Amino acid sequence: MTDTTLFSTYDLGGLTLANRVVMAPLTRNRAGAGLVPSEYAAEYYAQRASAGLLITEATQVSPQAQGYQDTPGLYTPEQIAGWRKVTDAVHAKGGRIFVQLWHVGRISHVDLLGGNAPVAPSAIRAETKTFVNNSFTDVSEPRALDLDEIPAIINSFRQAAANAITAGFDGVEVHGANGYLLDQFAKDGANQRTDIYGGSIENRARLMIEVTAAVAEEIGAHRTGIRLSPVSPSNGISSSNPQAQFDYIVARLDELGIAYIHVVEGATGGPRDIAPFDFPALRKAFRNSYIANNGYDLPLAEAHLANGEADLVAFGRPFIANPDLVQRLQSGTALAQIDPATIYGGGAKGYIDYPTANADSAA
């Protein structure tokens, strides 16, 4: 088979994508002073602009939302200007780019938050580590958000979405996955609240839906997506009823008419079959685009696109060492391997210096 629907164009909410390959969000911990995107970020993303859609590294919506050292924000004029360099560079290459907006909730450390405790739905510490002071360290004990603090959380996403459009992004992906704040509220392993944001499936889903609705209202549903991870145990998260929970969440997201759901099928960066879950049911319940993610190679992507289980397929870590991943997949060229020492933090090395296959052959 010389061609596949993976390399055909796609209409995402009126935005024409050159192919159905999506670059998944990849945290690289390279933001500069003021948590402005790295001086190399524009080149990094432009090198990968042949993907149908680029989704940026997770980007915090406020100072309180930060959970890792040197991750960029989108809440100051300087950060907006830094991201504008990135979007201009990507668009100059004919690419499309969404920013992923996050609030990490309890996955943070007091050293990143001016000595303040991380916030969470409930005061339950996660069994995980974060990257701070140039090393991986246990996360700090969180405090439970007061009910009257939640509107400000919602507004921080709304404002960051408005800032994203000012910065030239084609749209926004809300980070509702991987054990961060919205996922923490949704899952009962982290949420033991007894108010309107806790208890029932409907209540635990409330913040995720309200944030997504606010973003869609601000920038348009056709420019809004969300990432979900129904069964991933990332960052110490757990749920006693993931199928019922995410059937409900996706039904509510469908009502909002947003452009896409981006679903981590299985454990983030791990096994696809970690727990029983009917992912095709989510695809059927959502009228717009479904981005499939986790452990995809070309044959699996082709199969899921062909049988309608996905509209787009996201690839993550392969994009780090293969800026020309689309071309390599299409030509059957072997993939370059990542240097693990340069994934997190640092400068140009391991960031913008991975060669394309053409450069390899020319050398």
pLDDT tens digit sequence for 190-227: 999 999 999 999 999 999 999 999 999 999 999 999 99
Does residue 338 contact residue 321 with C-beta atoms inside 8 Å?
A: yes
CATH class (in words) of the domain with range 5-362 = alpha beta
What is the predicted pLDDT for the residue at 358?
A: 86
What single-letter DSSP state applies at residue 64? G
Least confidently predicted of 2-6, 137-141, 158-162 = 2-6
Question: What b/e sequence results for 142-151 when a residue is b if at least 16 CB atoms lie within 10 Å of its CB, and e otherwise?
Answer: bebbeeeebe
What is the predicted pLDDT for the residue at 178?
A: 98
Mean pLDDT estimate for the chain: 96
The pTM of the full predicted model, rounded to 2 decimals, is 0.97
pLDDT tens digit sequence for 13-24: 999 999 999 999
pLDDT tens digit sequence for 303-325: 999 999 999 999 999 999 999 99
What single-letter DSSP state applies at residue 128? -
Residue 265 CA to residue 242 CA, distance in Å, equals: 12
Does residue 147 contact residue 153 with C-beta atoms inside 8 Å?
A: no
pLDDT band per the 50, 70, 90 thresholds, residue 361: low
Domain range list for the chain? 5-362
pLDDT band per the 50, 70, 90 thresholds, residue 4: low
What is the predicted pLDDT for the residue at 360?
A: 53
Does residue 23 contact residue 95 with C-beta atoms inside 8 Å?
A: no
Question: What are the phi and psi torsion angles at 7 (to 5°)?
Answer: -105, 15
What is the predicted pLDDT for the residue at 2?
A: 39
pLDDT tens digit sequence for 97-126: 999 999 999 999 999 999 999 999 999 999
Residue 238 CA to residue 223 CA, distance in Å, equals: 30
Give the pLDDT mean for 172-183: 98
What is the predicted pLDDT for the residue at 363?
A: 44
Give the pLDDT mean for 30-50: 98
Residue 340 CA to residue 329 CA, distance in Å, equals: 22
pLDDT at 1 over 60: no
Residue 219 CA to residue 225 CA, distance in Å, equals: 11
User: Catalytic residue among 180, 248, 296, 351, which?
Assistant: 180
CB atoms inside a 10 Å sphere around CB 130: 24
* Structure tokens belonging to residue 305: 């696109």
Please confirm, yes or no, whether 197 is among the known catalytic residues.
no
Question: What b/e sequence results for 158-184 when a residue is b if at least 16 CB atoms lie within 10 Å of its CB, and e otherwise?
Answer: bbbbbbbbebbbbbbbbbbbbbbbbbb
Tell which wins on pLDDT, 290 or 271: 290
Half-sphere exposure of 237 (CA within 13 A, CB side): 31
